[in-house]
Amino acid sequence: MLAYIIRRLLIAVPVLLGVTIINFIVINLAPGSPVEMMIDPNTPPADIEAKKDALGLNDPLYLQYIHWLVDVFKGNFGFSLTTYQPVAQMIGERIGPTVTLMGLSFIVGLAIAVPLGIISATRQNSKLDYLATGGSFLGISIPNFFLALGLIYVFSLELKLLPSGGMITLGGDGGFVDRLKHLILPVLVLGTGIAGKKIRYVRSSVIDILGQDYLRTARAKGVREFMVVNKHALRNALIPIVTVIGLEVPILLGGAVVTEQIFSWPGIGQLTMGSIMNRDYPTLMALNLLAAFMVLAANLLTDIIYSVADPRIKYK
């Protein structure tokens, strides 16, 4: 097992390197540069060139990449080309809000999906099943932005109960209750989407398990139906769900671009969007590296958890 983990970690190094090279090429192939994004299209060309020189954007591409790579190995992700803040700091201050928002949304989504999935699996083709699967279909189908705007209209504009955006009230105390109020709508939007997807996984996974022989044995032994479902079946049904969740951990850090934008949530998603629009190369490189790292780490972690949860799986 240990040898397996070490081997996976060693493979990760060239993969990450390859990812950064591809990213670097792709973002530099995109037309425009941070300097050409300057406000006025009639900016004198000499000014554009002077600034490009000052920022090192006129160096050959391979040199720019090597500079970046050397700095990264020294633990320095460089400075943003648009705000001149250290990139690590820019990402650091947005990880908290994103993890809060996405973490809560995941928990809310799962808290809805797991019980509903089990219920609709155990009572297949009942009214409740139709309601749950119908609800799940709706949750998947409603676009986030539409649901978000609808909720803002109802809860912020008409009922005036909840703020329409931001993380804390402007000029307010920024306390726990205030933060919670700002979280409700975006978490509801994201949670609905997540729940919609997960209900189907849980349902099909439980249905699959319920037909297994050992459950028939359990029932034959006289175990109560409640126990059969919630202990014997659920435990095994959750294994494939763990995989699905594990693979979605990177999304947890990636943020939700659209929802973050609508609710002015200061997370990674908004930073990514802004960096793309401004062609902020160092920030984009760091964000991509972070994303790649998270995907690899989540994959590895899922594989490990899998072998722990399911004794049939062994890595050599």
Q: Contact with another protein (CB under 8 A): which of 39, 159, 177, 220?
A: 39
> Taking the complex as a whole, how short is the minimal distance between the CB of residue 3 and another protein, in angstroms?
30
Q: Least distance (Å) from another protein to the CB of residue 64?
A: 17
Contact track, another protein, 88-127, x by CB under 8 A: -----xx-xx-xx--xx--x--------------------
Decide if residue 278 touches another protein (CB under 8 A): yes
Q: How far is the CB of 68 from another protein (least distance, A)?
A: 16
Question: Closer to another protein at the Cβ: 68 or 133?
Answer: 68
Taking the complex as a whole, how short is the minimal distance between the CB of residue 154 and another protein, in angstroms? 11
Q: How far is the CB of 16 from another protein (least distance, A)?
A: 26
Alpha helix segments (H runs only) across the chain: 2-29, 45-55, 61-73, 87-122, 127-141, 144-151, 176-210, 213-220, 225-227, 234-254, 257-262, 268-278, 281-309
In whole angstroms, what is the distance from residue 151 CA to residue 155 CA?
6
Size of the site for another protein (CB under 8 A): 68
- 311 near another protein, rule: CB under 8 A: no
Work out whether 266 is an interface residue with another protein (CB under 8 A).
Answer: yes
Which amino acid, residue 68?
W
Q: Does residue 281 bind another protein (CB under 8 A)? A: no
DSSP secondary structure string for all residues of 197-214: HHHHHHHHHHHHHHTSHH
> Interface residues for another protein in 144-203 (CB under 8 A)?
149, 152-153, 156-157, 160, 164-168, 170-174, 176, 179
Phi (first) and psi of residue 203, to 5 degrees: -60, -55
Count of residues in the chain: 316
Per CB under 8 A, 225 contacts another protein: no
| 279 makes contact with another protein (CB under 8 A) | yes
Rounded-to-integer distance, Cα 287 and Cα 33, Å? 18
Q: Phi-psi region for residue 79, left (φ > 0), alpha (ψ -120 to 50) or beta? A: beta
What DSSP character marks residue 123? T
CA distance 201 to 244: 9
Shortest spacing between CB 243 and another protein, in angstroms: 17
Cα distances from 70 to residues 59, 77, 80, 255, in angstroms, run 16, 10, 17, 28
Q: What are the residues binding another protein (CB under 8 A)? A: 30-33, 36-48, 50-51, 54-55, 79, 82-86, 93-94, 96-97, 99-100, 103-104, 107, 149, 152-153, 156-157, 160, 164-168, 170-174, 176, 179, 227, 230-231, 234, 261-262, 264-266, 270, 274, 277-279
